[in-house]
Every structure is written in C-alpha cells, then in structure tokens.
C-alpha cells in the first residue's frame, strides 16, 4: 500500500485517539484510593508488530495483546490510546494514561516508574548496501543518522555517538529506514525487529543491517513516577503468573515469531512455513544419517566402549578448533572445539560414530566437561581482545538437565567472564525443559553463553528456542551449502536471521565454502560464520598462530 494511504490512516487513528482522550479527561475521576477499573495503555500508533492501529482502526500488536492479558488477569478493563510517541510520554507523565511499553534507560528512569522486564531487545544500524559497517555507536563520525524523535536511539546518540553526527529526526521508527532510501540519512538506528519488518513491508531490498545488535535494553511497562506503586506491584505479579503459565511465551511466538498472523507482515508467510520446512529438512537429514554406514559398530562393541571411557578419564581424547569470524569486520570471534578420537588400533573414528556411543553409555557428560576444560585451558593462551574471544563446546540440551554436569561446567570456568559458549544440539526433543530452564540463569551468571546449534535440523526447533532463549542461533549447514542457487534456502536463511535478531540473539552460519556465500550472508545480516571457505579445522597451536596474525580478510561492505 502507498505511503500516503498509511499516513492518512495514521492521521485518522491519531484523531480518534485524541477524541477518546478528551472524553476521558472530561469523565469524573474514580473516587478514593482503589485501583482504577480500567487499565489505560498509551503508545505509538506506528510501531508494528508491537503496537499499531490496524486497517479497521483498532489497536493491535504484541504489546496490546500482552496488556489485554494483564488487564484480564488483574480483573481490569483494558483501553488503548495509541497516537504519537512523544505525546504518549507526555500524557503518561500527566497521569492521563496508566502504562506505556518502552525501553528502559537511565534518562527515562528519572521520569517514569518501571515494571520488571518483559524481555530484552536490541537496536541496529541499517543502511544501503556498500555503506561502511560499524561495530559500535562510537565509530559513527560525521554521519547522518535517522532516528525516531524522543526514542531510545535519539537519547543514546546524543551521548554515545562519535563527532559530527547529525540526527535526522522522524515521527516513526519505520520512517527512519525510508529516510535512508531517500538519501536523507546515511544510517537508521532502529530496533532490530522494526528494521527487518520495515525492510520487508516496504520492500527496501537495498537496505541491510550494518552493525551487530546494539543498545541491549530491558523492555518494560512504564507508569507515572511516584503515583503507581500498587499498580507496578500488581503488574509484576501478573507478569510472573503469565510467564509461569506460558501465556507471555505464546503471545511472543504469535506476534514476534509471526507464526500465526500471516496478514501482519509480508515475511510472516515465510516464518509461518518455516516450521514445516524445518521439519521436512529434519526428516531428510535424519534419513541421510540413518543410511550412512557406520565405520564401526560402536554401540555393540563393549571393548570399544571401554576404550572410549578410558580415553575420557585419562584425557586422551583429542580436539581441533574450527575458527569463527565476524562476517562484517573480518575479526576473529573465537572457535568451536571439535572432539577427535584417534584409536590406537582402529585409527581415527568419526565423531558421529563415537559420540552417540558415549550418549548411550551415559559418559557424554564426562566427555563434555573434559572438552570444556581443554577449551578453556587453550583460551588462556589466546591474545586479549575487545570484545574477548570465546570458545564454543557442543553439549546436548538434555545434559543441561543434569545439575551435576552443570556444576562441573561452572567449576571449570575461571570467573564471571568465562569466554565459554555452549552450543546446544537441538535435534532431539528436550525431555526435561524445566530443569534446563533452571540451569540457564546459573550458567549465564558465570558469563557462559548459549547457542542453538544446527538450527533447522530438529523437528522441535522453535519449541527449544523458546525454552533456551539463546544468545546465538547457528544456521544448519544444509541451508548454506546451496544457498546461492536455492531461492527457498535463501528465504529460510533470511527468516532465521530476522527471527534471531528479534529474539535479541546473534546468528551464525555453518558450512561457508566460498567468498560469494560469505558475502551473501553478510549482506543478509548474518553476524558470524565458519566453514572451509573461512578456515578449516586446525590444531590448538595452529589456531593460536592464526589469532596472532590478525583478521580473516576484509568484512562485508
């Protein structure tokens, strides 16, 4: 639809909101100190998929659905008054509305009172292809950056941007992307989900993400400062109940995952079909693995199993490092540790043959802890960088349900900045999601990050992502190998990148074999990559030498 029609619809929505506000101001106030029977939410009428006015003039979006569920849980009647963003902030300060969803910031904490976080969200710099990529706001200099007036990006750039930055202020976040396409700005700094939504909705094919996720902030409900202690406590209690019951997760998947609302965004159809496509891919992958003959009959060979247990106990299992690179800057990010076993009689045995044996025999946990210790010991030899390099080790999601294994991994970490990422394989159903969920805060408290490995190779991909809330999604190599020749793989990879960024996660691609694929992924917004086209697996000494050499070639852009 045309931009003029969108503005016309927005004008009607704003007029309706102002009329409603006038009627509410004229109405008598509720007597006494009892909480109001109506929960009034204000916000931005142009902020899909979080809050917006639909074609019928009704408030809709994730924030609206969540506020509606909150009101129902608290026995209140919801009322939505969306309009201009800066007007919503002013009305909240005057007490004309009760809550506004927003990003937390220290500046806003001087104006409003906040509930507990709803989620963590991020921003990113977007611009035309060929515009230089940046790693932080500090690197901005003498650039024109489009932002929404009075938004979090507008606040942040006034204190964090480099010299000579000119703010190109817009009424709505999506307008910031359009300012880039019109040549009025070099970059747009907007929330990642809003950016990808606008790119798809407006078909801004020449606009891409040019930075990693920035400005990590809590997303909260704000209330009037000093007047709503009881309301904040009631909302916090209600949010806790809805998290425990899965209501908030369901709303997140419905709106942010865009699995159920195809009419909300053009790329929602891709994500709606993503689950089915991933399930079919998992069947094909499982069939290929099933048909592949094993090198040895591992599970039926007690002597081989005894040899494996002895190799684990004595520390004789070997390993290699697969380097991992930032696709934009070319900077090394660290490496994935790959287990190796050179049997004294059988020779090298492939991991896909002996790792399942270790799982069946119940020694996979001991293997994982051994590899974590080896990886962290090697990491101490690596040069100090900013941000620090990390080592990734594969574990099963079900292993994280074992408190003893989690304790052992934590004990192996040197401090709060462990530099360890656990790549959780998600090809199996998570048997004890509650225990896994209990383990995650403990691991993260020690600086241990979580990556979902081989994303797309498991039939429960989206379910596991909800439980794990990962810091990274790794796109399975089956979607990368023929990426340049397959439109369906391109659509799936694009959808995964958008989903990962909206979840606040970075996204990495496995199996990059050539520069063209690497460039395509970087242009699509993929953050990191690994594969033979970047660097083959190597020994610990070889990787340490590689790190001392420097970057892995030029980044995208």
Three-class DSSP labels, 180-245: HHCCCCCEEEEEHHHHHHHHHHCCCCCEEECCCCEEEEEEEEEEECCCCHHHHHHHHHHHHHHHHH
Looking at residue 501, which CATH number applies to its domain? 3.20.20.450
Are 151 and 300 found together in one domain? no
Sign of the Cα torsion 437, 438, 439, 443 reads positive
Q: Encoding tokens for residue 256?
A: 């942010």
Number of domains, the chain: 3
pLDDT the model gives residue 328: 87
Are 227 and 200 found together in one domain? no
Contact yes or no for 231/223 (Cβ under 8 A) = yes
Mapped onto helix, strand or coil, the DSSP state of residue 366 is helix
pLDDT the model gives residue 260: 35
Are 454 and 534 found together in one domain? yes
Q: Encoding tokens for residue 68?
A: 């509606």
DSSP β-ladder status, 119-128 and 187-191: antiparallel
Are 387 and 434 found together in one domain? yes
Are 105 and 126 found together in one domain? no
* CA-based nearest residue to 431, from 474, 473, 463: 463
Answer whether residue 254 is part of any domain. yes
Are 232 and 181 found together in one domain? no
Are 349 and 323 found together in one domain? yes
Q: Exposed, middle or buried: residue 541 (CB in 10 Å: 0-12, 13-18, 19+)? A: exposed
List the chain residues with pLDDT less than 70.
Answer: 1-36, 227-229, 253, 256-300, 415-417, 426-431, 456-464, 466, 551-557
Mapped onto helix, strand or coil, the DSSP state of residue 545 is helix
For residues 59 and 56, give the distance between their C-alpha atoms in angstroms, rounded to a whole number: 9
pLDDT the model gives residue 430: 63
pLDDT the model gives residue 198: 82
Give the position of tokens 């419905």.
254
Are 445 and 500 found together in one domain? yes
How far CA 67 is from CA of 34, 59, 77, 255, 260, in Å, comes to 20, 11, 10, 13, 19
């Amino acid at each position: 639809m045309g931009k003029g029609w969108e503005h016309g619809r927005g004008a009607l929505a704003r007029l309706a909101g102002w009329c409603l506000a006038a009627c509410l101001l004229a109405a008598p106030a509720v007597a006494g100190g009892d909480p109001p029977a109506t929960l009034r939410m204000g916000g931005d009428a142009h902020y899909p998929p979080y809050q917006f006015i639909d074609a019928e003039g009704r408030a809709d979006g994730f924030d609206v659905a969540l506020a509606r569920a909150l009101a129902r849980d608290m026995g209140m009647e919801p009322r939505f008054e969306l309009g201009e963003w800066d007007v919503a902030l002013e009305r909240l300060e005057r007490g004309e509305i009760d809550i506004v969803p927003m990003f937390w910031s220290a500046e806003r904490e001087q104006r409003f009172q906040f509930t507990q976080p709803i989620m963590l969200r991020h921003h990113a710099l977007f611009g035309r292809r060929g515009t230089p990529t940046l790693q932080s706001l500090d690197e901005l200099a003498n650039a024109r950056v489009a932002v929404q007036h009075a938004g979090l990006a507008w606040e942040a750039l006034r204190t964090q941007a480099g010299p000579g930055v000119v703010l190109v202020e817009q009424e709505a976040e999506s307008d910031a992307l359009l300012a880039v396409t019109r040549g009025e700005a070099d970059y747009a700094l907007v929330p990642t989900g809003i950016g990808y939504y606008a790119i798809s909705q407006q078909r801004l094919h020449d606009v891409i993400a040019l930075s990693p996720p920035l400005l990590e902030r809590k997303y909260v409900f704000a209330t009037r400062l000093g007047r709503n202690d009881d309301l904040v406590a009631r909302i916090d209690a209600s949010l806790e109940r809805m998290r425990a019951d899965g209501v908030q997760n369901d709303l997140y998947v419905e709106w942010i995952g865009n699995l159920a609302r195809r009419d909300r965004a053009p790329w929602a159809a891709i994500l709606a079909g993503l689950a089915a496509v991933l399930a079919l891919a998992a069947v094909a992958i499982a069939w290929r693995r099933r048909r592949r003959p094993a090198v040895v009959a591992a599970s039926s060979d007690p002597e081989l199993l005894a040899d494996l247990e002895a190799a684990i106990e004595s520390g004789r299992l070997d390993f290699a490092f697969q380097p991992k690179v930032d696709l934009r800057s070319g900077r090394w990010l660290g490496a994935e540790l790959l287990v190796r076993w050179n049997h004294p009689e059988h020779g090298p045995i492939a991991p896909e043959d002996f790792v399942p044996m270790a799982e069946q025999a119940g020694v996979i946990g001991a293997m994982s802890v051994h590899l974590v210790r080896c990886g962290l010991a090697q990491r101490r030899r690596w040069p100090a960088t900013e941000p620090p390099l990390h080592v990734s080790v594969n574990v099963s999601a079900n292993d994280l349900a074992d408190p003893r294994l989690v304790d052992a991994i934590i004990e192996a970490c040197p401090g709060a900045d462990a530099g360890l990422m656990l790549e959780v394989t998600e090809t199996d159903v998570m048997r004890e999601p509650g225990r896994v969920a209990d383990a995650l805060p403990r691991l993260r408290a020690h600086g241990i990050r979580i990556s979902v490995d081989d994303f797309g190779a498991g039939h429960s991909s989206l379910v596991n992502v909800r439980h794990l809330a990962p810091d990274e999604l790794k796109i399975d190599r089956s979607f990368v190998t023929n990426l340049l020749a397959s439109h369906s793989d391109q659509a799936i990879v694009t959808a995964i990148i958008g989903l990962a960024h909206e979840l606040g996660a970075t996204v990495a691609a496995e199996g990059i074999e050539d520069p063209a694929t690497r460039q395509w992924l970087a242009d699509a917004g993929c953050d990191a990559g690994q594969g033979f086209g970047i660097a083959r697996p190597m020994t610990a000494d070889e990787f340490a030498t590689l790190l001392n050499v420097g970057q892995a070639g030029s980044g995208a852009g």
